[in-house]
Amino acid sequence: MARVVAVCISSARQEPKTEVESARLTTGGMEGDSHRGVTEREVSMLRSEDIRAAEREAGFIFPPGSLAENLVVEGLPEDLAPGDRVSIGASAVLEVVEKGKKPGEPHSYDYRGWCLLPTVGFFPEGGRGRGRPQGRFGQVAVVRRHRSAAVRRGWEERARIARSHK
């Protein structure tokens, strides 16, 4: 079962996010976060496994929030796609609206030359409730929307193109 290991917010755009004890998920994003209500990408989410892989490749540690993510989730399936829902704790339900960013779309923030959100990040919306980091957020359950084989192939192709632009 997946679990949230960090919750992060920032008070200004293009600044690293900092880990917080708790943050309220509401429609529009996370209270106290500079991206709340600004774009359709209400929340940014990275898998801890992708962060660890990047750390091995980079040769240094990425502190929570340094990659502009709101949530770091351990054990989250890497093949989530738009329409999949992620239930966090007792009351938060997020629906994935985008995985990564469109190839060539600008990304305005990086940490020491690294940014993962454009290639492996998830952007869910629709949060409500209150959460806490370090696993106290509760378990994460994934409810998958039925996707046709053609839709799955389209997402696999998009991910391949995004990786080639890295």
Is it the case that residue 14 has pLDDT exceeding 60?
yes
Range of the domain at 130: 2-164
Give the model's pLDDT for residue 49: 96
Give the model's pLDDT for residue 107: 65
pLDDT digits (tens, 9 = 90+) for 26-76: 777 888 887 776 777 788 899 999 999 999 999 999 999 998 888 999 999
CATH at 56: 2.40.33.20
Compute the average pLDDT of residues 4-8.
88
Residue from 127, 140, 136 nearest 25 by CA: 127
Count of domains in the chain? 1
Give the model's pLDDT for residue 3: 84
pTM of structure: 0.76
Q: Which amino acid is at 124?
A: P
pLDDT digits (tens, 9 = 90+) for 98-155: 888 776 666 667 788 888 888 899 988 865 544 433 333 445 555 544 444 544 555 5
Give the model's pLDDT for residue 122: 93
How far apart, in whole angstroms, are the C-alpha atoms of residue 67 and residue 60?
13
Give the model's pLDDT for residue 56: 96
Is it the case that residue 4 has pLDDT exceeding 80?
yes
Could you tell me which residues come within 8 angstroms of residue 9 by beta carbon, excluding any fewer than 6 positions away?
17, 18, 20, 23, 30, 31, 32, 33, 34, 65, 70
Give the model's pLDDT for residue 132: 38
